[in-house]
Structure 1
Amino acid sequence: MSHPSMINRYRWYELIGIYVGILLFLTFVLAPFIEGFLVSLKPLSQLFSSPYRFIPENGSLAAYRTMWTSVPGFGWYIFNSFLISGTITIIVLILVVPAAYAFARFEFRGSGLLLGAFLAVKMFSGAVLLIPLFRLMRSFGVLNTYFAMIVPGVAFIIPTGIWLLHTYMRRIPRELDEAAYVDGASQLYTLRRVILPIAMPGIVVVAISSFIEAYAQQFIYALTFNSKTEYMPLPVGLFAYFGRQEVVWNELMAASFVGIAPALVVIFFLQRYLVSGLTAGAVKQ
């Protein structure tokens, strides 16, 4: 009879299969990033040499130094990207938290249909609505402003945030609301003092996903609704510069990695909240 501690142990060939699968997955996921980073280290003369060298010869960080002078306003583009993404994330959280609480706690006619409509919005590409949005922004006179890029981002991210957070809040016991009601607490007080502290891991998950989506979708809206350099986020700023002349690939890769580095730093410091949000409820208290 086997010992109970042996039940959940993997055999050696099962472990090999697991690690080989993880290695293959990481290879496909990380290979483009590794190649892009190596391109940023290569001299321009090596990028199109034959035979192609995967590992750079005499690699250096020269492209990371020269891109700051080659791309005018590079630091400002990064600031714009963070300003737009951060503002979108804050607005989304302000609107999503009470909406998710309402869908999770209140039963009202058409709630399921409305949630389905939110999900249906995500099925349409943002490009389909570019012309109507452009006409709308022009009629309000907000083209070439941050506002023109923030509003569409908020509108397309809110449905995902509501779905994620309302599912999380539904797992919070209703007895907590009932106990607060018995003590004389209003719905707003219950949300603010009882539900929000418990739902904070889920809110952080929504915040991170909203920030990443806002950071990733800036190109199409900024390219359509803005033509002023001072409002350009990083993707459009790089496109505007490198699209006007011969592409300097090593500097482009260097600029891309520097541009995404701040977002990676933010995610790195918030990852413990992300993990706690994904695993909340797994252990019975």
Structure 2
Amino acid sequence: MSSGRPMIDRYRWYEYAVIYAGMFLFLAFVLSPFVEGFLVSLKPLTHLFSSPYRFWPDDGSFDAYFTIWEHVPLLGRYIFNSLLISTVATVVVLILVVPAAYAFARFEFPGRGPLLGAFLGVNMFAGAVLLIPLYRLMRSMGLLNTYFAMIVPGVAFLIPTAIWLLRTYLLRIPRELEEAAWVDGAGRLYILRRIVLPIAAPGILVVALATFIGAYAQQFIFALTFNSKSELMPLAVGLFAFFGKERVVWNELMAASFVGIAPVMIGFIFLQRYLVAGLTAGAVKQ
């Protein structure tokens, strides 16, 4: 006979202990590199490899966060380039993916299944495998040493995943809403713009964030191959400026890394509840 309590309230004290211990170990494993990187940014360079190892620096300071701008004058430009490339790639992906995902979710047409499978197959190829043909393509189009050389390949690799994510979300939107508008005389574009898109806004936000992160993360290999101009380099490549011939300025390298990811982290903090809502809403098809 059911006790009437939710399943989550039926755990015993030792089961709670195991659950929370597992969560703690998982978070410690995931967050430990970030914590260590932040502590390295606070330590003086001469104390980074001192023995015995000290987890918390007694003489730590935020000096590296100020000196990075002097030692790498183009650091602000690198961060701007990364944000620009990721933003443009995200906008282009959304413009192409929204109608495509709606078509895959609502229309039956020959080859739909194989085409969706081909999209998954594209994700199985690493960008490094296609660097040579991509380089020849960028050179023939005259796009080398431009922002487009880093945006176009990124968009091509991000579109398949974005279509699958958004299609899954659109499948849970009741068809009856669109059929009612269709009976009232609304066209497909009107239904998509005034009915589907407002309801699918949380899912579109999830796709936008995932695309932005993907574009931000894959800039290194494309920028290193298709661009040789310092003023166009994204942050991932610009961090090489902290690698000298005789030493690596590790504290400033870590400081620059945290400064570079700060805009993305701030965006996630403000959009966190919308991201969680979109992920959970698209998890179950109704």
TM-score (norm 1): 0.96
The match for 1:187 is: 188
Partner of 1:215: helix, strand, or coil?
A: helix
Equivalent positions of 1:98-109 (< 5 A) are 98-109=99-110
**Deviation (angstroms), 1:279:** 2.1
Distance 1:4 1:50, change over 3 A: same
The match for 1:243 is: 243
CA distance in 1, matches of 2:282, 2:213: 25
Equivalent positions of 1:1-285 (< 5 A) are 3-5=3-5, 8-9=8-9, 10-239=11-240, 241-245=241-245, 246-280=247-281
Q: Unaligned regions of 5+ residues in structure 2, if any?
A: none
Partner of 1:138: helix, strand, or coil?
A: helix
Deviations 1:110-166 (A, max 9, x none): 000000000100000000111111111111111000011000000000000000000
Distance 1:282 1:104, change over 3 A: closer
Contact preservation (8 Å) 2:169, 2:282: no
TM-score (norm 2): 0.95
Contact preservation (8 Å) 2:242, 2:252: no
- Identity level (%): 72
Distance 1:82 1:63, change over 3 A: same
Deviations 1:80-115 (A, max 9, x none): 000000000000000000000000000011000000
Distance 1:272 1:42, change over 3 A: same
**Deviation (angstroms), 1:283:** 10
Deviations 1:217-266 (A, max 9, x none): 00000000000011111111112x12343210001000001110011111
Distance 1:194 1:251, change over 3 A: same
Distance 1:36 1:2, change over 3 A: same
CA distance in 1, matches of 2:125, 2:282: 33
**Deviation (angstroms), 1:45:** 1.2
Q: Unaligned regions of 5+ residues in structure 1, if any?
A: none
Contact preservation (8 Å) 2:172, 2:285: no
Calculate the aligned-residue CA RMSD, in Å. Answer: 1.7
CA distance in 2, matches of 1:266, 1:188: 31
CA distance in 2, matches of 1:2, 1:215: 50
Q: What count of residue pairs does the alignment treat as equivalent?
A: 284
CA distance in 2, matches of 1:6, 1:85: 43
CA distance in 2, matches of 1:5, 1:282: 25
